[in-house]
Amino acid sequence: MGILDVKGVGKRFGGLQALGDVNLSVAENSVHAIIGPNGAGKSTLLNCLVGKLIPDTGSVMFDGQSVLGRKPYEINQMGISRVFQTPEIFGDLTVMENMLIPCFAKRDGAFTPNAYAAMRKDTEMLDRAGHMLEEMNMADKRHMHAASLSRGDKRRLEIGMCLSQEPRLLLLDEPTAGMARADTNNTIDLLKQIKDDRDITIAIIEHDMHVVFSLAERITVLAQGTPLVEDTPDKIKGHPKVREAYLGESQDAA
Amino acid sequence: MSKMNLTRRGVIQTGAVAGAAGLTLPTYLRADGHSGFTNAPEGSSVTLGFNVPQTGPYADEGADELRAYELAVEHLNGGGDGGLMNTFSSKALQGNGILGKKVEYVTGDTQTKSDAARASARSMIEKDGAVMITGGSSSGVAVAVQALCQEAGVIFMAGLTHSNDTTGKDKKANGFRHFFNSYMSGAALAPILANNYGTDRKAYHLTADYNWGYTTEEAVRTSTEAMGWETVAAVKTPLTQTDFSSYIAPVLQSGADVLVLNHYGGNMVNSLTNAVQFGLRDKQVNGKNFEIVVPLYSRLMAKGAGANVKGIFGSTNWHWSLQDEGSKAFVQSFGTKYGFPPSQAAHTCYVQALLYADAVERAGSFNPCAVGEALEDFEFDGMGNGPTLYRGEDHQCFKDVLVVKGKENPTSEFDLLEIVEVTPTSQVTYDASIFGGELGACNPGA
Amino acid sequence: MFGLEAKDFRLLLLVALLTMAAPFILNPFPVDSGMAQFNAGYPDLMQRFVIFGIFAIGFNILFGLTGYLSFGHAAFLGVGSYAAMWMMKLLTMNVIPGILVSVVVAGIFSLAVGWISLRRSGIYFSILTLAFAQMSYSLAYSVLTPITGGETGLQPKVTDPRILDAALTGNAPKANLFGLEMGSSTDLVMGGWVFTFNVGYYVAAVVMIFAFYMSIRIFRSPFGMMLRAVKSNQQRLNYTGLNAKPYTLAAFVISGMYAGLAGGLMVAMDTQVGAERMFWTASGEVVLMSILGGVGTLIGPVLGAGAIKYMENILSKINKDILYEWFAFLPDGLQDFVITLVYPFIGKGWHLTLGLIFMAVVIFLPGGLVEGGQRIAAMFKRKKPSDNTPDGKTTPAE
Amino acid sequence: MEAIILQVLNGLDKGSAYALIALGLTLIFGTLGVVNFAHGALFMIGAFCAVTLSRIISLSHEVVDETQTDFLGNPLKVEVPYVYDWFGQAAGDTIIDWAVPLSIIFAIPVMVAIGVLMERGLIKHFYKRPHADQILVTFGLAIVLQEIIKYYYGANPIPTPAPSAFVGSFDFGIMLGFEPNQIIYPYWRIIYFGFAAIIIGAVFAFLQFTTFGMVVRAGMADRETVQLLGINIDRRFTLMFGIAAAVAGLAGVMYTPINSPNYHMGMDFLVLSFVVVVVGGMGSLPGAVAAGFLLGILESFASMREVLNVLPGLNQIIIYLVAIIILLTRPRGLMGRKGVMED
């Protein structure tokens, strides 16, 4: 039993079988990567985990509770935070406010009509958000509009926002997609540090093998909607099936 | 502080400063209307408020009302040819303003919305010191502004408003109406319709779905049914309707042979145009020619409907082709100044302005209560509608009503209606109590 | 002070001072001068400034913060007005019950409309709100005439039951606050100037200052932040464990209650209600007010409301005679020419001016009048050497 | 039965007007992504093209007729149109009589010019601005346009009749075997329906079968890609705006005999046309047409007295009621695409 158990999940879009029969278990406090060529169903699987999609068959259990049929915000409140492929932040708000929102969501729940409360007096929240910004090395940018941050900073901010909720499971959807090598390495370092600093489970969907092999403790290879193999990074590296799946893909990509 | 006090003029000195923080200068504090009524004119002039639609669909009608008011002011101040002052039976007006005070005026835009009309009336009362408000071209506005004037303590001389409510259930002691109403239209029209179309007719009503429509339908129905007509159906149409085809198409199927359009303004122009388009008037039903009736006509609306009005009966308050001395004098005066004949809206507004001025002269005071008393049960002549009574019980004028017909061969763009009959006052008089409402006491304001 | 940041408190204080001193500020010209036409310090218009200010402040809580563009807010204003009017007819001419009930009724009505309309977003939401408002208007004008008075609207009458008040003697009932009549005024004459202090205006002004204060509280609360987050990125909000729907619904109801409050005050100041108060153009007007003043800013909507009401009431009253008076100093030919040039834009042409100003503001000042003010302020600042780095971006504009 | 057939006819006729106006609106939205609140004003300007042309045609000079007097007792001045002098009275009358159909030729270049001018002068600068700004600026433009028209033509409706050849109505009832006069419909409205069908068909064919149309459709789907292909999509979109303006204008021209045009007819149609477009689904041409006919037919049925006797006031709210029901059951209207105008 892992913290996240996916059993027999299948999803069809019209005539397309996006997910076949996915079985997956993510162990608590591990870093688990899901890799696979384009169209393998990685994103569909992720969307099934966070409530954006409801699978046609199977079950998804988080910490012993089913997430199926729950809304994204409910699943988040259960302890799953998601980082998007392109950073999803509140662009019109300041960096500080971006960080405050998840803090409030963690403390006050999905809806609190605290329309009369003065935010600037809520030192608990301000401190928590401030600490998180410091941890992310963004304290000096707290008054900037989030939209004006660099791509790398946006990514940091988004990860920081997720972490401020103290999630038990952090889902990352290709966190380094489109990044320059330097930024990618920074992100890897950041994730490693996160892993070292706290008790957290990380599930990562990734394309970039460099990232995967730097971070993951276990890897599931997905192809055509079904898990091909699941094993440790070392074993995966030399696995013939993986090579086959990836060779085909790399030719396409060229 | 607790007295209603809306005036700007006639400031008196009390020397007291109350509550106005930070004022060190010697000040004059207006505490009360010295003269005992709102906006008592002091100095050499008196201000009247002309509240007419200047924007919105009735803007042209409002423009004509404003022309009439300007003309009336000119005449009151002794300018021009004196207009109706020469034919008016009361000779109190001297052409030297009102009570020797030069008449000035302010204008406002009602937008034909009661909120906007009240806002502009209040600005004229509160800011400009108007002692009387007049004008408007719908009953909604008339009732709203009348209630305001009652509260503020000024006289309201209604402009064009045809609903029974204005001097019926919503009548007010400070409000007066010269224009006729739905009841009178019905009473005047019915005999003419019976003479021309026979007493065995089946009528189909299309009625604008608001107060004025209801009272007009009621009036025409009652009086035509009394003549022996049968009402086949009455369908209400939304005010905002522009295309009436779906209401007109089923008329022929119903077996009706007369269509009554209880519509005004844009509604009337469109519904009549649509009805004629459907060729209703070329049809034979029950062995008779199909006919259309428009209870309330105005020349401006007839102009909008163009050739479609030809031969269609309706009623109107006044028409420039009347040949009595008063009408001729007014048409002469207005036509010379503006180059075209006045509309009925212009006429009623001009007359209202003169009647007010005359009442002030006779009362010897601008006090609304005195003016109201002078107007109540006032009988006059020479204003274009024959002998007229301003009935004291409901402040409604009783006078002859014109039944008109769209002219077959107009000679100009103004020559659209011809007078068929002048229904005498006695036929359109009713008991003041039938519409309910409470006049209340006159309110002089301050 | 009052739980506000110093900057916000200064703004509140400024607004309070301006509203309290409005009779002076709005009457800058002596009564007998030619410019007196531009004086706006008479009770009706001052009352309208603050009432529409409240309406726009409330609308801005929904539109400015969440970005949901309602095209039906006039319906809540109208419903509030009807409720207040019925309180005046049935209970008492004291304005307190009327105003309270108008807020409650508008709140309930907006809860129902919001609950349905917020199932959709974007223009689909706008059209749903528009549809509800237009239905309210149409029904109030026609089949609901027994309740709404239809075309002629409702006014308090001597014959109304009014169970809490003593019987009236003949005269028209007047709205009051424990005996203090809304219509009563005191004039202060200073030289050629006359300043009018009206009870109704000050009652409305106090309510507006309170409404403005509440809106600052909302803007600066976590709740207000969540509303801005809804506008900024609903996706992220959902994945941050927050349920956007109750937030938007709460904002909708709050702004509906503001509209109801404005409607109730309108009846309290001027005892009349008509259905056209709910027509879609009235809803459009409050949208225009917000955008003209500056969406999402605290003070913008109030400025926008003032600007539009000023044009409607002052510009529309200028007629040709007044123009001739003004330009009397010009030689005849030139006078006629100038008047021909100006005339289309004033009096009955005030709509044209309004349209042109909207276009100009949207094209050149997307942030509305507030942005205009900021630009002017920045121009002055730039001249001074001590240009402290503007941290204007740090907090949402005021 | 007769009543129902009649209301279907009414619905088709009303629907064709709605569809025609909504078509241009959704075309502009679909191609340019602009919410055009001035579209109603374009419809109104079209109608005033007809008014203007008929005034030009009947330009007159005054001839004093000593035998008649005017209202002030002076000799009557009779207005004699120049066309009488040029072509004789009979031919002159015919020309004046056919002013509305002639206006179509006059209106097309005028409307296209206005549309192009509007796009180049104003709308162009608003592609990247929020929809609220687009709404406000075009709404401001609509007010300005209608005030200009009001300044020159007044507020009163101006009668603009159809040629006398089309006066009266056609008896469908006899054709279908009913009694005479049971199902009649005016010739001009039948023509309007046919005209609308032709215009709608032409717009669809144009988009479907011409290269220009294909590029525009591709642009509607994905503007950036088309631009990457090196096609000057902007110029085509400008022309598209001109075409949409012309469609609205023609709808206005042909509408003049049905209802006398006035300066606020555009505003009267504006809300309705937006409801039609949204019910059809933003940016969907077939949706707009389908919604136009649907609302037209339902509105007609709601105006039947048999219906009103049961549900008084239904005719007041039917359009909005239908809009609410459709939007609640079909989130993006009848044929809307996901993600369009939802933020």
Q: Do chains B and D touch (3 or more CB pairs under 8 A)?
A: yes
Residue of D nearest to C361 (CA): D137
Contact flag B58-D316 (C-beta cutoff 8 Å): no
- CA geometry: angle A229, A231, A237, nearest 5 deg: 85
Closest by Cβ to C239, choosing from A76, A114, A143 = A76
Cβ–Cβ pairs < 8 A, chains B and D:
141
Same domain, B197 and B115: no
User: What's the number of CA atoms in the CB half-sphere (13 Å) around residue A178?
Assistant: 10
Question: Which token pair is B160?
Answer: 């064009």
Residue B172 counted as domain residue: yes
How far apart are alpha carbons D188 and D198 in whole angstroms?
Answer: 15
Contact flag B411-D70 (C-beta cutoff 8 Å): yes
Give, in order, the Cα–Cα distances in Å from A1 to each of A79, B349, C136: 17, 91, 58
Backbone angles phi, psi at A58, to 5 degrees: 90, -175
Q: What percent of chain D has pLDDT over 70?
A: 95
Question: Which token pair is B119?
Answer: 């806002």
Please indicate if any CB of chain B lies within 8 Å of the CB of C311. Answer: no
pLDDT value for C325:
80
Question: Which token pair is A18?
Answer: 């996006």
Residue of C nearest to D326 (CA): C128
pLDDT value for D339:
62
Quick check: A20 and A224 in contact, CB under 8 A? yes
The answer, yes or no, to whether residue C37 has pLDDT greater than 80, is yes
**Which structural domain, as residue segments, surrounds residue B164?**
45-180+320-400
Rounded to an integer, the average pLDDT of B127-149 is 93
Type of residue found at A239: H
Please indicate if any CB of chain C lies within 8 Å of the CB of D125. Answer: yes
pLDDT value for B19:
35
Rounded to an integer, the average pLDDT of B212-235 is 94
* Positive or negative torsion for Cα B326, B327, B331, B334: positive
Ordered DSSP codes for B195-207 = HHH-S--EEEEEE
Break chain D into its structural domains and give their ranges.
Answer: 2-56+100-329
Q: Do chains A and B touch (3 or more CB pairs under 8 A)?
A: no
Residue C147 has a CB neighbour count (10 Å cut-off) of 12
Instruction: Calculate the average pLDDT of chain D.
Output: 87
How far apart are alpha carbons C161 and D163 in whole angstroms?
Answer: 60
- Contacting chains of A (3 CB pairs or more, <8 Å) are C
- Of the two residues C159 and C298, the one the predictor is more confident about is C298
- CA geometry: angle C263, C54, C76, nearest 5 deg: 35
Contacts of C199 in chain B (CB under 8 A): 1
Give B101's contacts (C-beta < 8 A, 6+ positions apart). B41, B43, B44, B45, B46
The answer, yes or no, to whether residue B23 has pLDDT greater than 70, is no
pLDDT value for D276:
92
Question: Which token pair is B257?
Answer: 């042979």
Domain-ending residue, one of B297, B316, B335: B316
Same domain, B163 and B197: no
pLDDT value for A166:
92
Instruction: Calculate the average pLDDT of chain C.
Output: 89
Rounded to an integer, the average pLDDT of B388-409 is 94
How far apart are alpha carbons A59 and A54 in whole angstroms?
Answer: 10
Please indicate if any CB of chain A lies within 8 Å of the CB of C247. Answer: yes
Q: What percent of chain A has pLDDT over 90?
A: 52
Contact flag C131-D331 (C-beta cutoff 8 Å): no
Same domain, B188 and B160: no
Min mean pLDDT across B155-159, C100-104, C351-355, D108-112 is at: C351-355
The answer, yes or no, to whether residue D58 has pLDDT greater than 90, is no
DSSP B111: T
- Of the two residues D131 and B213, the one the predictor is more confident about is B213
pLDDT value for C131:
95
pLDDT value for B282:
87
Tokens 């290709």 found at: A174
Please indicate if any CB of chain D lies within 8 Å of the CB of B323. Answer: no
Question: Which token pair is A234?
Answer: 């070392």
Q: Do chains A and D touch (3 or more CB pairs under 8 A)?
A: no
Query: Domain C6-299 class?
Result: mainly alpha
pLDDT value for C169:
64
DSSP B343: P
Closest by Cβ to D324, choosing from C128, C295, C356 = C128
The answer, yes or no, to whether residue C286 has pLDDT greater than 90, is yes
Residues 248-307 of chain C with CB under 8 A from chain B are 270-272, 274, 276-277
Closest by Cβ to A92, choosing from C214, C231, C240 = C231
Give B17's contacts (C-beta < 8 A, 6+ positions apart). B23, B27, B29
Task: Report pLDDT digits (tens) over B276-311.
Answer: 988 888 888 888 999 999 999 888 888 888 889 999
Closest by Cβ to C187, choosing from B23, B30, B210 = B30
Question: Which token pair is D42?
Answer: 């374009």
Quick check: B397 and B381 in contact, CB under 8 A? no
Question: Which token pair is C307?
Answer: 């600007």
Contact flag C123-D278 (C-beta cutoff 8 Å): yes
Q: Nearest-CA distance from D292 to chain C in Å?
A: 16
Residue B432 counted as domain residue: no
Instruction: Please name the CATH architecture into which domain A1-79+167-254 falls.
Output: 3-Layer(aba) Sandwich (3.40)
Q: Which long-range contacts (CB under 8 A, 24 or more apart) does B25-28 make?
A: B25/C190, B27/C188, B27/C189, B27/C190, B28/C188, B28/C189, B28/C190
> Which H or E run contains A99?
helix A95-108
Domain-ending residue, one of B264, B291, B316: B316
pLDDT value for A198:
86
Same domain, B296 and B376: no
pLDDT value for C1:
64
Chain B interface test: which of D2, D13, D43, D72 (most B C-beta within 10 Å): D72
The count of residues in chain A is 254
Min mean pLDDT across A227-231, B159-163, B195-199, C281-285 is at: A227-231
Ordered DSSP codes for C95-144 = HHHHHHHHHHHHHHHHHHHHHHHTTS-HHHHHHHHHHHHHHHHHHHHTTT
Residues 303-322 of chain C with CB under 8 A from chain D are none
Q: Nearest-CA distance from A89 to chain C in Å?
A: 6
pLDDT value for A248:
55
Q: How confident is the model at residue A1 (pLDDT cuts 50, 70, 90)?
A: confident
Residue of D nearest to C69 (CA): D132
How far apart are alpha carbons A2 and B190 in whole angstroms?
Answer: 91
Q: How confident is the model at residue A128 (pLDDT cuts 50, 70, 90)?
A: very high
What CATH number has the domain bearing residue B210?
3.40.50.2300
Chain C interface test: which of B102, B123, B139, B262 (most C C-beta within 10 Å): B123
Residues 193-232 of chain C with CB under 8 A from chain B are 194-197, 199
How far apart are alpha carbons A7 and A60 in whole angstroms?
Answer: 6
Same domain, B209 and B305: yes
Tokens 């030297």 found at: B96
- CA geometry: angle C182, C188, C189, nearest 5 deg: 145
Question: Which token pair is A192?
Answer: 């490693």
- Provide the b/e sequence for B255-292 (b: ≥16 CB within 10 Å): ebbbbbbbbbbbbbbbbbbbbbbbbbbebebeeeebbb
Contact flag A143-C391 (C-beta cutoff 8 Å): yes
Number of domain units in chain B = 2
Q: Which residues does residue C286 pair with via DSSP β-bridges, in sequence order?
A: none
Give B308's contacts (C-beta < 8 A, 6+ positions apart). B272, B273, B275, B276, B406, D159
Break chain A into its structural domains and give their ranges.
Answer: 1-79+167-254, 89-166
The answer, yes or no, to whether residue D80 has pLDDT greater than 90, is no
Quick check: D173 and D182 in contact, CB under 8 A? yes
Task: Report pLDDT digits (tens) over B304-327.
Answer: 888 899 999 999 999 999 999 999
Min mean pLDDT across B199-208, B219-228, C142-151, C322-331 is at: C322-331
Task: Tally helices (H) and strands (E) across chain A.
Answer: 9, 10
Break chain C into its structural domains and give their ranges.
Answer: 6-299
* Positive or negative torsion for Cα B192, B197, B202, B207: negative
Residue B84, sorted as left (phi over 0), alpha (psi -120 to 50) or beta, turns out to be alpha
The answer, yes or no, to whether residue B22 has pLDDT greater than 80, is no
* Positive or negative torsion for Cα C277, C278, C279, C281: positive
Chain B interface test: which of D71, D179, D308 (most B C-beta within 10 Å): D71
* Positive or negative torsion for Cα B189, B194, B195, B201: positive
Q: Nearest-CA distance from B440 to chain C in Å?
A: 5
Chain D interface test: which of C119, C124, C132 (most D C-beta within 10 Å): C124
D77 burial (CB, 10 Å; 0-12 / 13-18 / 19+) is: middle
User: What's the number of CA atoms in the CB half-sphere (13 Å) around residue B254?
Assistant: 26
Q: What percent of chain C has pLDDT over 70?
A: 94
Ordered DSSP codes for C329-379 = GS-HHHHHHHHHHHGGGSGGGHHHHHHHHHHHHHHH-TTHHHHHHHHHHHH
Contacts of C124 in chain D (CB under 8 A): 278, 327, 331-333, 341-342
Please indicate if any CB of chain D lies within 8 Å of the CB of B253. Answer: yes
The answer, yes or no, to whether residue C262 has pLDDT greater than 90, is yes
Selection from D277, D43, D240 nearest residue D145 by Cα: D43
Quick check: A72 and A252 in contact, CB under 8 A? no
Quick check: A79 and A168 in contact, CB under 8 A? yes
Domain-ending residue, one of B281, B296, B316: B316
Question: Which token pair is C32?
Answer: 């007998």
Closest by Cβ to C121, choosing from D125, D129, D342 = D342
Same domain, B204 and B352: no
Q: How confident is the model at residue C257 (pLDDT cuts 50, 70, 90)?
A: very high
> Which H or E run contains B258?
strand B258-262
pLDDT value for C16:
95
The answer, yes or no, to whether residue D172 has pLDDT greater than 90, is no
Contact flag C124-D147 (C-beta cutoff 8 Å): no
Closest by Cβ to D313, choosing from C122, C143, C281 = C143
Contact flag C237-A143 (C-beta cutoff 8 Å): no
Q: How far apart are the first and last CA of chain B?
A: 11
Please indicate if any CB of chain D lies within 8 Å of the CB of C147. Answer: no
Give A105's contacts (C-beta < 8 A, 6+ positions apart). A76, A77, A165, C240, C241, C242
Residue of A nearest to C250 (CA): A113
Same domain, B308 and B327: no
